[in-house]
Amino acid sequence: MERYAPFRLAGRRGRGHSVGAVALPVGDEKVRAVRSMFDSIAPRYDLLNRVLTLGMDVGWRKRTVRSLGLTQESVIADLACGTGDFCREITKMGYVPLGFDLSFGMLAAARTEAPLVHSDALRLPLPDGAVDGLTCGFALRNFVDLGGAFAEMARIIRPGGRLAILEVAEPSNRVLRYGHGVYFGNVVPFVGGLISDASAYQYLPKSVEYLPEPDVMLQMLADVGFTEVDRTLLSGGISQLVTATRRAL
């Protein structure tokens, strides 16, 4: 595995900030680090998702796909599809999934019949307006250019099509936020290290720092062509569901 060195952070706290023992990579360094990390953790990624979320991730994905509200057989692009959790749920809902991921390791470990493509989310091999909807789970903080990723999502979704993004969040309640911080910052890396790769599960909790503030993120989606942009906190605020409709041209 190609380990990532102590890079500098470009996130909500400003450029050049290190978080704890792990400094976050940027630019091309981030691309290499993220690809290598997910290649490494792919074999046990699904298991750890279930363990670390106490199985709640299954319900979150079901709700995310339901929120698309599209007609049967609509074509749905799943970005950062990983091992195919969303693709399988998309199929169950009567849609047609297309999976895209930067990690060969994730695609090799995928358990889905959906067509899968090795691709950067910033340069998707699809024509304009090619899909009816799009899902993306727990990946926004791994994109090098979030604004560019949102613009690419807007490009490939047809006017009137739907977007549904599942991502981690922080509870607004002070007590819940403290408990979540302890769990996410200490328990997740410890358990991840026992079952999979310790450095990866140190990075993943800290990578939340890449995310902009919620209002900023919603405005970014509106700026690239989405309307009806909405954000819903799930399970007490430990995850968030962001939905939007592609504005008519």
Cα Rg of the chain, angstroms: 17
User: What would the CATH number be for the domain defined by 28-160+167-246?
Assistant: 3.40.50.150
pTM (2 d.p.): 0.86
List the alpha helices (DSSP H) in the chain. 27-52, 56-66, 85-92, 104-108, 146-156, 174-182, 188-195, 198-206, 214-223
Indicate the residue type of 223.
D
- Say which residues have a Cβ less than 8 Å from residue 87's Cβ, sequence separation at least 6: 78, 81, 97, 99, 110, 112, 114, 116
3-state secondary structure of 119: coil
Give the model's pLDDT for residue 52.
87
Give the model's pLDDT for residue 69.
98
Give the model's pLDDT for residue 22.
53
Longest dimension (CA), the chain: 50
Q: Which pair of tokens denotes residue 103?
A: 């990690």
**Block mean pLDDT (10 aa), the chain, length 249:** 29 38 80 91 88 92 98 98 96 98 95 96 97 97 96 98 96 88 86 83 85 96 98 95 94
Rounded distance between C-alpha atoms, residue 84 and residue 203, angstroms: 22
- Say which residues have a Cβ less than 8 Å from residue 171's Cβ, sequence separation at least 6: 177, 180, 233, 236, 237, 238
